[in-house]
Structure 1
């Protein structure tokens, strides 16, 4: 009897631990791989953040329609962003670009083309710093510096923000709430930034996509690491359409406005 009680206790502990890991975000991508063990006590669960602030993660995405969103991080650049935009234009697909200020400032023409082509712009901060490693004030400054630049160039203030590396903690939750941002994560990440093949990227999307998915890809990052992503993008679009998915901008999936204010330039 004691043996079975011991086994039951182990199973219960394992289940609880698994759930905690599922809800705590340690996702990393694009620039480095911070050690999650060093930042565990600073993380809060995505579900916990969603109870207090606007945040969309895998557990609360709308799943009642066959709609998906394709998002692009870390651009714009002068190599991959034009190729991404050309493909989207060819297929008449509207996507969402989480732009990084330190890249955008060097490629303002690509930033303007994103909006001109009918896509949505979100804030991906200026420096792409790990929010576990900087203060709340530094997070605020990084977010607002990018916001100011986007406003100056485009006349809009984005309401969507994607934290670098997908890091969600109490600090970014407070900052996002203070400045009326909605935090946006993803549930399909083929890790296209690491130079993997188009087939591997496509197969990952095929395996993971479902109604309400937000797909994470990249439109910046440096040659040749996104070559597979560029090759995979048309195939991803064709697969989604074959499976009767509608590819929509983020604001259509979430049913919230993408910008707070717009001024005519």
Structure 2
């Protein structure tokens, strides 16, 4: 019986990849459109499914072989390469709460890590089910565990900015907010080779200042639509019940792998992910 259920889940992932893969050629992945209510709707066209290797690990056959540099009379100095940040449109600068409800797709987001106790357990579960997720990392945790940050990225998950110290941004100056976001983006870029393109304010408390700074740094803002409040340790059954009751096509689900004892979150993920998969849900994350 177990093998038949596992086979069914693998077939569903493969079917989802085939179905959504064709749409990806027609629409830009995670393209933002403004809704009448002023919220931002995201059109999901990226193929959900098993994590893929990071871009840094994928060879490109079309890249020409660089010519050797001419000899220099002076000492060699490595050039400083500044990351190129995308200019955001007004629609792209608004916080995203939901994905396209016309597709049976869920975005799983993991906050407050990395944590050496719980992040590896979450990664193992995601690998088991072939799910890509978005990890919103705190800078002061990431700087302590760079190997774990690289592992998240190397497994194909999306790396995102969750500030340096997890403060309440609503009561901070623009320079202080910029320092929180810029330090974190710079660290994640140095560690993974990827410049973060998404940001989540601690507590989901976006402010006019944080939205302005994020846009200046090329960061789109992601909130959520399903919050089981797992950070408060309400009990594994409570987390499971909230997710399964509130999830719908296009939901962005909030979970935590850092900030304390996250054993309830891990146990809840172990229980509700198979239920969502068996209900026909596919999972997505922004492109890397």
The normalised TM-score by structure 2 is 0.67
- CA drift at 1:129: 0.9
1:243 is aligned to 279
Shift >2 Å, 4+ stretches: 47-58
Out of 261, 265, 273, which is 1:229 matched to? 265
Aligned residues: 203
**In the TM superposition, what whole-angstrom CA distance separates every residue of 1:38-95 from its partner, at most 9, and x where no partner exists?**
xxxxxxxxx658566523433x531110000110000001111111111111112111
Out of 172, 175, 179, which is 2:217 matched to? 179
Q: Retained in 2: the 8 A contact 1:61–1:213?
A: yes
For residues 66-105 of structure 1, the aligned pairs below 5 Å read 66-105=104-143
Q: Retained in 2: the 8 A contact 1:57–1:187?
A: no
Change (3 A) 1:214 1:221: same
For residues 186-201 of structure 1, the aligned pairs below 5 Å read 186-201=224-239
For structure 1, list consecutive stretches of 5 or more residues without a partner in the other structure: 1-46, 252-256, 259-265
Distance 1:211 1:55 in 2: 21
Distance 2:134 2:99 in 1: 16
1:204 is aligned to 242
Mapped pair 1:129 → 2:158:
no
Distance 1:169 1:150 in 2: 23
SS in 2 for 1:156: coil
For structure 2, list consecutive stretches of 5 or more residues without a partner in the other structure: 1-36, 41-89
The normalised TM-score by structure 1 is 0.73
**In the TM superposition, what whole-angstrom CA distance separates every residue of 1:192-223 from its partner, at most 9, and x where no partner exists?**
11122211101000111011100000011123
2:149 is aligned to 111
Q: Retained in 2: the 8 A contact 1:99–1:125?
A: yes
1:57 is aligned to 96
Q: Retained in 1: the 8 A contact 2:136–2:162?
A: yes
SS in 1 for 2:253: strand
C-alpha root-mean-square deviation of aligned residues, in Å? 1.6
The structure in which a higher percent of residues are helix is 1
Distance 1:137 1:211 in 2: 38
